[in-house]
Amino acid sequence: MTSGTGAGPGSGGAEAGSTTGGIAGHEAVRIYEVGPRDGLQNEARLVPTEDKRHFIELLAAAGLREIEATSFVSPRAVPQLGDADELVRSLPGDDGIRYPVLVPNARGLERAEGAGARSVAVFTAATDEFTRHNIGTSVAESLDAFGPVLERAGRLGWWRRAYVSTAFGCPYTGRVRPERAVAVALRLLDMDVDEVCFGDTIGVAVPTHVRALLARALEAGIPVSRIALHFHDTRGTALANVVAGLEAGVRCFDASAGGTGGCPYAPGAAGNLATEDLVFLLDGMGLAHGVDLSRLLAAARFIAGRLGRPLASKVGQAGGWDPDSGRSIDAGADAAV
């Protein structure tokens, strides 16, 4: 991927190709957009399928090349995503963009296959207590259930991702030791997933925790190229955690346009890391990523408007920044429709 905004308007002023804090500037960062799925799944206001599709189109127009589109869970459990079959069927199949879908079991995979999906994500956690509350199984039972799902997806030639939620902290047991999350990740990699994503589900991690987990993962033999990180900004530490991940060599980070989403198990959760805040950080550090900030803000404002609230992200409120003039840009612009 190439940088869409580089050091131009909306960046923090660093020149592309520079090295900042020991981070090689020429290494492209993958931004894995989760707004259409994780960002919307807990929203009470139902978003029409056509608006979800337009949101995805706006994200693609901004340069995002990995957009997690939806989840094939029971519509009774997650009414917001009850249109998964219709939405996935409406997505282009040859535009060079990966549209992963989350599936909980073999039935979900069957629906995803029928709708034309081509990449999949499965989810478990680092603690039994969380998985029992979230999906009604222990961690071991969830891994057993994923075996046939991942095997089938592999035969289909699909790209496969696995989430390890509560990798840093659990709402039922407290702090999670790094080796516990890494042990789950190793089991998933044994199932031939392409990528493991460690999630700070309730937003309690700080950079020292991120460094400790990644050090343990690398010591265990997990290639850094197969690690992604998913931070919630519940307590304002998401961007600091991204920098810690970058310094350790991670180059894939999840984010949600507008900072939508969050975890129902984290009271007062502020939502996922906002994609526009991540893009501004990466631009300022001179790290290539391929996303245009102005177009991304249009996508974020569109979905915020459909949810009936103002854009809450920092860059959404302040806009980008032109280092040549010192002026804010795209601050408070009207949503694209």
Active site residues: 263
CA 219 – CA 293 distance, rounded (Å): 36
Tokens matching residue 231: 């931070």
Strands 227-231 and 195-200, bridge-based pairing: parallel
Helices marked H in 17-77 — which ranges? 49-61
DSSP string, 91-117: S-SSSS-B--EE-SSHHHHHHHHHHT-
- Which of 242, 329, 232 has its CA nearest to residue 282? 242
CA 82 – CA 78 distance, rounded (Å): 7
Tokens matching residue 206: 């700080």
The angle at the Cα of 117, spanning 260 to 133, to the nearest 5 degrees, equals: 50
Contacts of 283 (CB under 8 A, 6+ apart): 3, 5, 6, 7, 10, 11, 12, 14, 289, 293, 320
- The amino acid present at 22, given as its one-letter code, is G
**C-alpha to C-alpha distances, 128 to 71, 103, 181, 264, 337, nearest whole angstrom:** 22, 19, 11, 17, 43
- Which of 63, 69, 60 has its CA nearest to residue 36? 69
Residue written as token pair 């129902």: 264
Q: Are 276 and 316 in contact (CB under 8 A)?
A: yes
Q: What are phi and psi of 231, to 5 degrees?
A: -110, 135
